[in-house]
Structures are given as C-alpha cells and as structure tokens.
Amino acid sequence: MTRIKGWLIILTILVISTALALGTGPVDISLWNMSATDKLILFNLRLPRILSSFFVGGGLALAGAIFQGLFRNPLADSYILGISSGASLGAATAIVLGFTSPLAIFTGVSFFSFLGSLAALALVFYFGSQNGSISPFRLLLSGLGVGLFLSSLVAILMIMAEEELKALIFFFMGGFSTSSWETALLALVFVPVGAWIAFYYARDLNVLLLGKETAQSSGVNTVLIQSVYAITAALLTSVSVSVAGLIGFVGLIVPHMVRMIFGADHRSLFPFSFFVGGIFLILCDTIAKVVIAPSELPVGVVTSLWGVPFFLYLLKREKGEYGI
Amino acid sequence: MIDKTEENTLETKSISFGYGKTLVLEDISFSIQRGDFVALMGPNGSGKTTLLKTLLGLLPPISGEILLNGRPVLSYGPKERAKLIGYASQEPSFSFPLTVKELVSLGRYPHSNRFQDSPEDEHAVEEALRITESTSLRERKFTTLSGGERQKVLIARVLAQASHLLLMDEPTTHLDIYFQLHILETLKKICREKNITIIAVLHDLNLASLFADKALLLKGGESVAFGKVQDVVNENSVREIFGVEVAKKIEPGQGPQFIFLRRPVP
C-alpha cells in the first residue's frame, strides 16, 4: 500500500471512530438540539475520554515500536519487558504513601510512575546484557523476571494498603471511565513530545537496526540515540500507565501490523503506529462502553479480544518476509 | 573525485590495542595505497576483527597512530570519518522487513538530510545497486533473500556510504562457491572501476591469492607478514600462521593454487 493512500485511509478511520465514540454512551445526545447537560457530557466527559484513549493508544504503540527497534527484538514491548510493571509500582507507591511530585507539570502518580519505569528499564537492561551486548532471549527473560518481581511488590503494596485499596484497584483495572481533562492533559502534553522525539531520530534508529558497530561506523552517536529512545519509551509507558492503568499488547501488536502493511522504515513506522494505536484504543474503548452497557468491560479485555485474532490473521498471512 | 596525489590512503604506525593488560594487537605497521585490495588473513582469534575496528576508530589504540589520508583517524568527526571509511561486519542478525533499497539507503546516513533523501543520495544508491548487480532485488525484503544475495546488498550499502576505503569482515563466509567468486569479483570491480581501497578478511588461500593485491597476515595479534599477495602467502607463511602443510602450485596464466597436504603440523 502506498503511504499517501495509507494516510488517507487512516485519517478517514480516525474521523469516523471519533464521531462514533462521541456519539456512544449511556445518554443519547442529539447534535442538533443539545441541552446544557448534553454539552457538559460531550465536552467534559466524552471528549477528554476520546483524547485520553487516542494518546494513550498512540503512546503505547510508539513505546512498543521503540523498544522493538532499540533492542532489535520483534518481541519487545513495555508490557513484556516489565517496564509497565515498574510504572505501576511507582504509581502504586505514590498512591499508598501519598507522594507528591516535585515538578509542577507532573502529578505525583505520573512522576513516580516515570521513575518506576526508568528504574525497571535500568534493571532489565542490567540483567539482560552481558559484556555490553544484549541477546534477544536474555533480554526477554530479564524483562519477564523483573516484571514479575515488580508485580509481586505491587501485590504486597495492595495487601498493606487499606484505605487506598479501592483507589489502587481502580487504577489497575485500567481503562478510561474516569478520564477527565486533567488526565487527558497529561497524555496531550507528553505523548506528542515523545512522538516528535521518536520521529526526529527515526533515521538513526534505522541504521542502528544493522547493529551497534555498523551504526557507529556509519557515524551514528549510538550512546545518544539509545539513551534518547530508552528515556522516551519509558516516558510514554509511564504516561499511559498513569492515565489508563495497565493495557497490554497494544505496544506489541500495533507496530507489527503497521510493519506488515507499510514496511519497517522507522520514519513511517513511528507516525503510522502512533495513529493506528490511537484509533485502535478509541475503538476498543467504545466497544468496552457498549458491550455490557450500562456497565463497562475493562478496555484491556477488548484490546486482546479482537486485536489478537486480527494480529494472528496477519501473522499467518505474511509470506516469510518478516524474518521470524 | 579521485585524488592521485595522496599516496597512502591508510597508514598505521606500530599500533597496539588491548583490553586491560592483555594485548590483542601488538605493534602493527603497514601502509596501503589507494585502490589496493588487501586480504587480511590469520587464524580465528588472531585479532582480524579487532584490527578492523581499530582502523575504523571504534577502538582507540593504546599506542601508535593510524593515519587516514595523512590525518589521524581519531581526529575526524564520526560522520566525516564515515564518509571516508565504510565497514561491513559479519552478517548482522536482522529480523525487520526493510526492503533492499531502504537498507542500501542506510549507507547514506553520514551524507544525507534527516528527513529527505537528495537526488545525490538516490544516485549513489542506484549506482551501488548497479555495481553489485542487485538492481533487480531493490523492492525485495532483505529478510527473504538468500545468503549470497544478502551479502551483495550489504556490500551495496557500504558502497553507498563511503567513497574511499571499505573494510569487510569475512564477506564470503557461509557462501557457496558461486557466490564466493561472485562477491570477490564484485569487490575487485569496485577496486578497479572506482579506485576504492578494500581491506577484506578472507579465509580461502586460493581466492585471496586470486583476487587480492596485497595480504596482511596476523598471528596472535602480531603482523607476521605484509606485502604482495604472491610473495607473502606461501608454504612457509601458511605453516607458520595456520600450522598447516600446503603445496603452492603456479600454473601459467592462472592464479597460484594451494593444495592441502597434511593436517595440522604437530
């Protein structure tokens, strides 16, 4: 598929799914005859919810695409590498101990979630590398180990917490039912920044796919590029976790779908993954709202329920071009 | 573009390199003229790859000096240096479906703009595809190519990058005999047509003697011999560095042939 055609299709789907999501909810709203309550619902509930899900989905897909390229590992993703667990532990600690952020632009939860994801990344990298080089399997095992360990720390925190237990459970269930302009703003500020950084260095990351030494011999400042991408992916992961809790597999599946359709050049992979991830989560959230209305499904259940079969279909269809 | 006034493309003055106290390379000196095809030979673990990385400026020597076009190699900025020396490592593991054209374009990294390839970049990529005879592969995914095709494409990438000097780590390893010859013919053609200097790690005595102009023999991190390939690669040097008895036959009108007589010298 050509890229221009791809963009046209993606932008069309974005408009349609946004309209669909705006029109879906427990209250029926008529566009031509809106009451004050209708306007309130539309602009203070549904719009921030759509923006949150779009930027969280985009952020998760980008974080996955970055981790896959950075570690040259098609199985990498913030969830599998345990980075999401680090972000959760940071967030849970902030909730239980009532930490506040030293920086005004972050909330306490998002700041400590960012610290948590950076710390998890450092641990995964430390245990996953040997003599400075990373093997794909070692990295995955290290990520699984670190992730499980951090998740059990989260479980201990939950048992110890009494008053905050409800807040914690609510937090980890994930989803956008509590989205407000405040949470949307966090994603609106940081995800585009991360997306721009990812896009800006995309060509350097392309060269890094050939291996560290080849990249260095081509003039790539590998230390800079690897650090920039590691921090960016950790930031994107922690913002997503702070806004919507744990949502798995978007980061794994969306970049692969995009690669299968548009190829592996990061200069197109990053923007396409961002938009496809965003649209995907808007649609999943809309489905989560309607399937068992008036209650809601956790959005993570929906992402897996129809994202995974579509991914498996693409996987079966690809003709060995993928090198996996 | 071709500057005939520069005598030595690459010159090393007694370079040593090591990790901690162990020396991996010791006191290596040689100089290479523009357009030379140099075979870098030696047993496994003799420091061939380390030498290539040192020449590239990736590993700074603990003593000695490397001059590239008369200037210390470490005095160039990374991109400036990458425009002069290109490096093709042993085949990288690669699991993302870039097309051949995209992969060869990666070689333009030190030259081109971050977002947009210039007509000059396009031209360099097409020329690299042409000279490696891989133009017909350009829209294929790299991951679907055979070993020999991959090697051609990797050569095209490094060719699109550098204008002067190419360092190739085992370009013919794992290839069938057709592609071994084909790849070496391609490299030779690059040397002759473009006056590009090539240093390639080669293991096959016959192929090295047939294609290379010069040979640098390494053993245990030391340079055992350096000179014209027909002078340097012979029964004595092969026995000394590989511990293998060979007989060298020279047929008129052909390259020298090595016949393996015996297993390792006890």
Q: What is the mean pLDDT of each run of 10 residues along chain B (266 residues)?
A: 59 92 92 94 94 94 93 93 93 81 94 84 94 93 90 93 91 90 94 93 93 95 93 91 88 79 66
Question: Which pLDDT tens digits describe chain A residue by residue (324 residues)?
Answer: 678 899 999 999 999 999 999 888 777 777 677 788 888 888 888 899 999 999 999 999 999 999 999 988 888 889 889 999 999 999 899 988 888 877 776 778 888 989 999 999 999 989 988 877 777 788 889 999 999 999 999 989 888 887 788 778 877 777 888 788 888 888 999 999 999 999 999 999 999 999 889 999 999 999 999 999 999 999 999 999 888 888 888 998 899 889 988 989 999 999 999 999 999 999 999 999 888 878 888 888 888 887 778 778 877 876 666 655
Chain A interface, best mutation among B105, B106, B144, B145, by max A CB count within 10 A: B106
Kindly list the distances between the CA atom of residue A193 and the CA atoms of A225, A280, A282, in Å, as whole numbers in the listed order.
16, 20, 20
State the complex-level ipTM: 0.90
DSSP B8: E
CA nearest to A14, candidates A43, A54, A42? A54
For B26, phi and psi rounded to 5 degrees?
-135, 115
Q: What is the pTM of this model?
A: 0.90
Distance CA B208, CA A76 (A): 42
Output the pLDDT for position A320.
65
**What residues 84-113 of chain B have any CB closer than 8 A to a CB of chain A?**
85-89, 92-99, 102, 106-107, 109-110
Residue at token pair 């989803």? A175
Taking CA–CA distances from B106, the nearest residue in chain A reads: A207
Helix, strand, coil percentages (3-state) for chain B, rounded to 5, are: 35, 30, 35
Q: Convert B112-126 to b/e letters by CB count within 10 Å (16 or more is b).
A: beeeeeeeebeebbb
**Cross-chain residue pair A203–B53, CB shorter than 8 Å:** no
Kindly list the distances between the CA atom of residue A26 and the CA atoms of A48, A170, A286, in Å, as whole numbers in the listed order.
16, 20, 11
Q: Which amino acid is at B193?
A: E
Output the pLDDT for position A48.
92
> What does DSSP say about strands B8-19 and B63-68: parallel, antiparallel, or unpaired?
antiparallel
Run of H or E including B6? none
CA atoms in the 13 A half-sphere facing the CB of A252: 20
Give B-chain residues touching A209 at CB under 8 angstroms. Answer: 94, 96, 98, 106
For A318, phi and psi rounded to 5 degrees?
-70, 145
**Cross-chain residue pair A264–B109, CB shorter than 8 Å:** no
Does A256 reach chain B within 8 Å, measured CB to CB? no
Cis peptide before A74 (omega within 30 of 0): no
Tokens of B14: 């007694």
For A290, phi and psi rounded to 5 degrees?
-100, -25
Whether B69 and B164 have beta carbons less than 8 Å apart is answered as yes
Distance CA A58, CA A237 (A): 11
Give B-chain residues touching A73 at CB under 8 angstroms. Answer: 95
Kindly list the distances between the CA atom of residue B44 and the CA atoms of A205, A306, B20, B48, B221, in Å, as whole numbers in the listed order.
32, 52, 21, 8, 11
CA atoms in the 13 A half-sphere facing the CB of A284: 30
Output the pLDDT for position B5.
47
**Cross-chain residue pair B106–A207, CB shorter than 8 Å:** yes
Give B-chain residues touching A219 at CB under 8 angstroms. Answer: 77-83, 109-110
Does A69 reach chain B within 8 Å, measured CB to CB? yes
For B28, phi and psi rounded to 5 degrees?
-100, 125
CA angle B68, B74, B79 (to 5 degrees): 85
For A267, phi and psi rounded to 5 degrees?
-65, -25
Give A-chain residues touching B82 at CB under 8 angstroms. Answer: 217-219
How far does A228 lie from chain B, in Å, by closest CA?
16
Output the pLDDT for position A71.
87
